[in-house]
Amino acid sequence: MNTETALITGSSSGIGLHLAHEFARHGHPLVLVAPVLSELESVAADIQSKHNVPVEVVAKDLENDKAAEEIFAELSGRDARIDILVNNAGHGFRGKSWEMPIEQDISMVRLNIEAVLRLTKYFLPPMVQRRSGRILNVGSIAGFNPGPLLGVYHATKAFVNSWSEALATELKDNDCGVTVTTLCPGPTDTDFFPKADLLETRAFQKASVSAPQDVAEAGYEALMKGELFVVPGMMNKALVASRRILSEGAQASLNEAFYKKVPPEDQKRQRGDFEREAVGSRR
């Protein structure tokens, strides 16, 4: 049994769900956070049956500015020690900037940025005091360049990538035994795509799409090694490297093309294709 307890946000689906299974597979006790209690309880039961690790659940909507404080207070009341904080929860919306409702823009900022900041502000100081701890922030390759039609989402992930690197450097310079790792996936077969209105775009239908199991495994391994960044997939690594040779305008145009819809006859992929294939290959 690994004694490091991991708190994972957005753990009822997608990358967060598979991160939960990956941590449990390595024996970590878990605290799972997502908005819907019934979904969390179902996930917890499945993980416990498969991996035989302790799993606690906390149902909170992280867009609420009191959620992080309430999570910290609730866990403190249970005398629960969090050794690993996984800031995974996030979402995006596709659309022209002048047509997007401001509520959707603010929603992305609150979940993708503010919730990450607030949770870290609560759970990092005890780690520093203990001189041990790990943080895994889920950024994105989207955070390395601008993304027309998904502009606010790219900007929120740029914040996560940049802030995480700065925080990791501060902690390293203070030699306090706490590490920060940023997981930067590319297109991944999760509910992010249908929820963001991206299922019919080139980003899902034509790009190299990862299985969430593979992304979770890469993130876990990098975290435990104390790596600063991890970009799963060779194509994603190439896209990140291209920012060194492409102008910002060229990067923006490339991303804009990814987010345009393809004709119906060219839409061959369905949500879950890559995730199910990965399940089959691991049996």
Pairing state between β 229-230 and 178-183: parallel
Of 153, 149, 155, 100, the residue nearest 261 (C-alpha)? 149
Instruction: Confirm if 246 and 253 have CB atoms less than 8 A apart.
Output: no
Instruction: Confirm if 161 and 144 have CB atoms less than 8 A apart.
Output: yes
Of 186, 277, 183, the residue nearest 235 (C-alpha)? 186
Neighbouring residues of 32: CB distance < 8 A, sequence distance ≥ 6? 8, 11, 12, 20, 40, 43, 44, 55, 56, 57, 58
Q: Where are the alpha helices (DSSP H) in 174-281?
A: 192-195, 202-205, 212-225, 234-241, 248-258, 273-281
- What is the spatial distance between Cα 50 and Cα 55, in angstroms, rounded to a whole number? 12
Q: Which two three-digit tokens encode residue 149?
A: 């039609």
Cβ neighbourhood burial of 19 (10 Å; 0-12, 13-18, 19+): buried
What letter would DSSP give residue 145? S
153 counts as catalytic: yes
Provide the CA 185 distance to its chain's centre, in angstroms: 8
Q: Report the run of H or E that residue 84 belongs to, with start and end.
A: strand 84-87
Q: Looking at the annotation, which residues are catalytic?
A: 153
